[in-house]
Structure formats: C-alpha cells, structure tokens
Amino acid sequence: MGIFKRLLRKGMKYLPEPMKLSLIRSFIDVSKDPPEAIHFRVARTQSELEQAFGLLHEEYVRAGYMEPHPSGLRVTKYHILPSTAVLVAVVDDEVIGTVSLIKSSDFGMPFDTVFSAAEDIAPGESVAEVSSLAVRRDYQGKRDIVLLPLIKYLVEYCECYFGVDTLVMTCHPDRFAIYQALAGWHPIEQEVVENYGFAKGAPAQGGIANIADTYQELAASFAGKRPEKNMYRYLRHRRFKNFQFPDREFLHANDPVMTYELIDYFFKRRTSLMFEFSDREICILRGMYDHPKFAALFEDLKPLPSEAFRNERKEFRFDVNCPGRTLVKGEVNYPIDVSVISASKNGMMIFTKANLPSGASLQLQVAISSRHKVQMDVISVWDQGQKKHGLQIVQSNEQWESFVEYLGNLLNHETLSPSTVKLTG
C-alpha cells in the first residue's frame, strides 16, 4: 500500500462519519465487470476448500489475527456444519478470494460470543454471519475484480438461495467504514470489543445489515450517482455471467458440502478440531450426521455422558424456504400465510405474522418447489416466540416424505436424483 493510502486510512477515523462515508464512496469505481476468467461459486471440492482455508491462514497470520498452525490452514468449528457455506473466487482452478457464511444454529455464531443483535432483528428473520474473508495479496488492490464481486455474490446467494434475511459480522474497527459506505452495514450499538478471541485478541466492531432495508438505504445514498459510482445499481441490478449458483429443483436453503472424507481430512487429520468439540457440540453433530457412513467419525471420541443427550431433538430438521398457507379448523376459519423454515419427516417450524393458537389443528399446504405443493394435517404444538411455531405432522403423504428423504440424501451425499421424489400433486 502506498504512503498516501496508509496516511489516508489512519486519518479517516478522525473525520465526521458523513464526510468519511462520502470520501470512501468517491474512490469507488464499479464501471467494469469482473474478468470472465474469474468464477464465483460455493466451494464444492477438497481442493477449493483447502485453498480457501490456506488463503485464510496466510492472511490471518499476516494480519496478526492468529498464530501459525502446523496445517497451514484456518479451519473453524463452524465449517463442519451443513448450514455453513464457503464462497470462493476462482481463476484457473486457483482460489483468489473467499468468505464464509455461518447460519445461526444450535452451534451459535462467532459474533454471538461478544455481541448481541437481538434488538435489531425482526421476528422471523433468518440470520447468518459473514466471516473468514480473505483476498489473495496480488488481488487486494483490485477491489472491483475480487472483493466487490464476492460481496455481491454473497448478497445474491443469501437472498435467493440461502434463505437469509439479515447478515451480521465482526471486523477491525478501522475497516468497518468501508462496508458501511459501500454495502450499507450498520454498527451494532455497543462499544468496540478490544479483545476478540476469535481473531487473537484484535479489536472488533460488530455490524448488521438487513438485506431488504440495505437496498432501500443504498438507493437513497447513491441516488443520482453516475453508474461507475453507484453501489446500489451495482449490487441490485448488475448481472455477471461468471456467477455460478446452485442448480436446485426444490426449496431447500443449504448446500451441504462436508462428506465423511472431508470431515475426516480437515477436522481429524489436518487439524484436531474433532477432538476439541464440547459434549453438547458432539451431540449436535451426531444428530446432524446421523447416517451409517458418518458413524466412524465419532468412534474414537470420548463417550458422552447420558445427560448430554437430554432434550435433544430426535429428528434432525433441514433448513428450507417453503411458502405455505394454512386453514385453522374451528377456532380461526380463514387462510393464514406461513413460511416453513425447517422441516423433518414428522414436524416443522414455521413463521407467521398471524396469531396461531397452541394446540390448533391445521390443514397446511406447502410449496416444495416452484411447481409442486404438498397438503397435510398438522397440529400446533409449541410457540417459540417471535411468531415462530412448531408443528407436528398428523397425516403426511408420499410427496412430503419423499421430499424430506431427498433433503437427507443431500446432507449424506447419497445419489438421489430430484426425479425420484414422488411428485404427483
């Protein structure tokens, strides 16, 4: 980085916020599409994951965010989850940029260890943390080639495939203004954390961005700006041919990548993370990877005490993003719009803005793809608050059971084609 840029970065933190954001926006140039040779996608192979984790290690060590690891990789416990996505920018089979999306789950998120965004998240919103961002050094000065397209890909993937409404993140306070100016992030209204353990004690600023609200705010902030200076137009309306999104038949909301072989390689052989999970985390992982092909992963771990399994759900629920409509029998005799956000063979969790009586018997119609709907009888059995309800399926059908089987085979990496799902409705 040149002397001028270093001085500018140091001096910007002393500027009033409106002046600082305006100055950052004045430097941006998004007139060009990223080169066609660079592809942006969800990492799917051992090579892509290993390169991404290696790039993270290199940049985090260089920035002082971690001590060197013998593996040369930065792999976190969250990367084992089927609800975590590693996004990569690739040129000639080489990873030159990466960022991870860690969906909120029973494992929590790194963000949760130091910040709370509960007051900033609307009822029913799905949340993920933007984490593990790194760009290869020879591309770091070329934001329009890797960093900005990677951010754009992340937002589009969250909005259209990952089922996420709101993003959170932590970053160094000196860099937060860049994301605030260009991508509409808001600081969490808490003091800067001076010792963030997930980044070797570096200071951290928490941020949050609701995707829908961010588009509206960016539209106002960049109104009247020329196309090459307009981040709203860039993020919302530009389309890039080198964005590769998952090819999906059904409305699920995860793209699981960790096979038995990949978990064994990254979490037992290259690192020892598999032996560092808590009893509760091992219990959660057993529930997620409850398939004979994953059984050997847990054989050499310490036995879990019986209380570790207490209150754990018997059926693993898959993240989905299925719109539905219900007719409440007797008490409320009118249709209620719902969103099914997790599903299993015998139950589901839904979000609805309407009041749903506990114990109510319902007839529920759920879209499992853009062309197919499933109808079943359910009972409302619990209310989590924030308009989230648990439903028990009383009478299902082959379509639903086949759909859930398909989701399980995605997680277990079985060869089940979408065409095998029984779609007769």
Q: What is the pLDDT of residue 384?
A: 74
Tell whether the model's pLDDT for residue 425 goes beyond 50. Answer: no
Name which of 135-144, 151-160, 213-222, 306-315 the model is least confident about.
Answer: 306-315
| Spatial separation of the C-alpha atoms in residues 104 and 119, rounded to whole Å | 16
Tell whether the model's pLDDT for residue 197 goes beyond 60. Answer: yes
Q: Averaged over 147-164, what is the pLDDT?
A: 96
Q: Averaged over 207-220, what is the pLDDT?
A: 96
Q: Averaged over 361-384, what is the pLDDT?
A: 91
Q: What is the pLDDT of residue 174?
A: 87
186-187 and 166-171 strand pairing: unpaired
Please count the CA atoms within 13 angstroms of the CA of 133 that sit on its side-chain side.
17
Interhelix angle 3-12/17-27, rounded to 10 degrees, is 150
Instruction: Please indicate, yes or no, whether residues 283 and 370 belong to a single structural domain of this protein.
Output: no
Q: What is the pLDDT of residue 118?
A: 87
pLDDT band at 7 (very low <50, low <70, confident <90, very high): very low
Instruction: Please indicate, yes or no, whether residues 269 and 350 belong to a single structural domain of this protein.
Output: no
Instruction: Please indicate, yes or no, whether residues 231 and 336 belong to a single structural domain of this protein.
Output: no
The alpha carbon torsion through 47, 49, 53, 56 (nearest 10 deg) reads 100
* Amino acid in the structure at residue 408: G
Instruction: Please indicate, yes or no, whether residues 338 and 305 belong to a single structural domain of this protein.
Output: no
Q: Averaged over 182-194, what is the pLDDT?
A: 89
| Spatial separation of the C-alpha atoms in residues 96 and 135, rounded to whole Å | 6
245 assigned to some structural domain: no
Listed residue (147, 54, 166) closest to 104, CA to CA? 166
Give the CATH number, domain containing residue 170: 3.40.630.30
Average pLDDT in the chain: 89
| Spatial separation of the C-alpha atoms in residues 288 and 317, rounded to whole Å | 8
405 assigned to some structural domain: yes
Instruction: Please indicate, yes or no, whether residues 294 and 345 belong to a single structural domain of this protein.
Output: no
247 assigned to some structural domain: no
Instruction: Please indicate, yes or no, whether residues 27 and 157 belong to a single structural domain of this protein.
Output: yes
Instruction: Please indicate, yes or no, whether residues 74 and 148 belong to a single structural domain of this protein.
Output: yes
Instruction: Please indicate, yes or no, whether residues 193 and 54 belong to a single structural domain of this protein.
Output: yes
| Spatial separation of the C-alpha atoms in residues 338 and 387, rounded to whole Å | 10
Q: What is the pLDDT of residue 417?
A: 55
Give the CATH number, domain containing residue 373: 2.40.10.220
Tell whether the model's pLDDT for residue 365 goes beyond 90. Answer: yes
Domain end (from 182, 203, 236): 236
Listed residue (129, 77, 76) closest to 104, CA to CA? 129
pTM for this model (two decimals): 0.92
Instruction: Please indicate, yes or no, whether residues 151 and 127 belong to a single structural domain of this protein.
Output: yes
246 assigned to some structural domain: no
425 assigned to some structural domain: no
- Residues 9-38 pLDDT 10s: 666 667 788 888 998 899 899 999 999 999
* Strand ranges for 288-343 from DSSP E: 318-328, 335-343
Instruction: Please indicate, yes or no, whether residues 202 and 286 belong to a single structural domain of this protein.
Output: no
Contacts of 70 (CB under 8 A, 6+ apart): none
**In sequence order, what DSSP letters do the residues of 45-73 get, joined into one string?**
SHHHHHHHHHHHHHHHHHHTSS---TTS-
244 assigned to some structural domain: no
Tell whether the model's pLDDT for residue 330 goes beyond 90. Answer: no
- Residues 405-414 pLDDT 10s: 999 999 988 7
Q: What is the pLDDT of residue 3?
A: 45
Instruction: Please indicate, yes or no, whether residues 336 and 355 belong to a single structural domain of this protein.
Output: yes
- Residues 240-289 pLDDT 10s: 999 999 999 899 999 999 999 999 999 999 999 999 999 889 989 998 99
Both structure tokens of 312: 């754990």
Number of domains in the chain: 3
72 assigned to some structural domain: yes
Instruction: Please indicate, yes or no, whether residues 138 and 287 belong to a single structural domain of this protein.
Output: no
Domain end (from 182, 202, 236): 236
Domain end (from 285, 309, 333): 309
Q: What is the pLDDT of residue 142?
A: 87
255 assigned to some structural domain: no
pLDDT band at 1 (very low <50, low <70, confident <90, very high): very low
Q: What is the pLDDT of residue 308?
A: 54
Q: Are 163 and 319 in contact (CB under 8 A)?
A: yes
Domain residues for 403?
318-420
